[in-house]
Amino acid sequence: MAMRHRSRLPPAEFVKSSFSGTNPEQCVGVAYRDRRYLVRNTAGPDDAEAVEFTIGEWLAFLADVEKGVSRRLGDGYIIANSPPGGRLVVERFTESEWSAFVKGVLNGEFRLHGHAVGPLPVSA
């Protein structure tokens, strides 16, 4: 699956899984803007970059997550991308961050909802 380059968004536009608990600083953040889905680790700085997906790529990514497909690295999980002519981009998530995201995916929280995602703003 081809993931796109990284984009920047203000953190308030990102949402998290309802399974992420009360700490908005440690979760998989997802946003939708300009017909693109963006994923970032909210533990990073507020202006951190995000891995970008087209709608089709996002749906394929969710289908893989639902099937249990993931990229494990050491004691965490990664989403990686190396766009044509670009540098390798990696977002890393802890076991608990990824587990909460997967539970949210399985709960249908990140499916297309009129192009909105997730139930909870990251600042919640």
Q: Within a domain: residue 116? A: no
Beta bridge partners of 78: 71, 92
Residue 118: inside a domain: no
Say if 72 falls within a structural domain.
Answer: yes
* DSSP percent split of the chain into helix, strand, coil, nearest 5: 20, 35, 45
Q: How far apart are CA 108 and CA 22, in angstroms?
A: 20
Domain-located, residue 122? no
pTM of the predicted model over 0.85: no
| Domain annotation covers residue 52 | yes
Q: Strand, helix or coil at 114?
A: coil
Q: Which of 115, 114, 112, 103 is nearest to 16 (CA)?
A: 103
| Domains contained in the chain, number | 1
Contact 50, 38 (CB under 8 A): yes
At 4-33, the pLDDT tens digits run 445 555 544 778 888 887 766 678 888 887
Instruction: Please check whether residue 58 lies inside any domain of the structure.
Output: yes
Asked if the structure places residue 76 within a domain, the reply is yes
Q: Is residue 44 part of a domain?
A: yes
Range of the domain at 84: 4-111
Segment 35-74, tens digit of pLDDT: 778 888 887 766 567 788 888 888 888 888 888 888 888 8
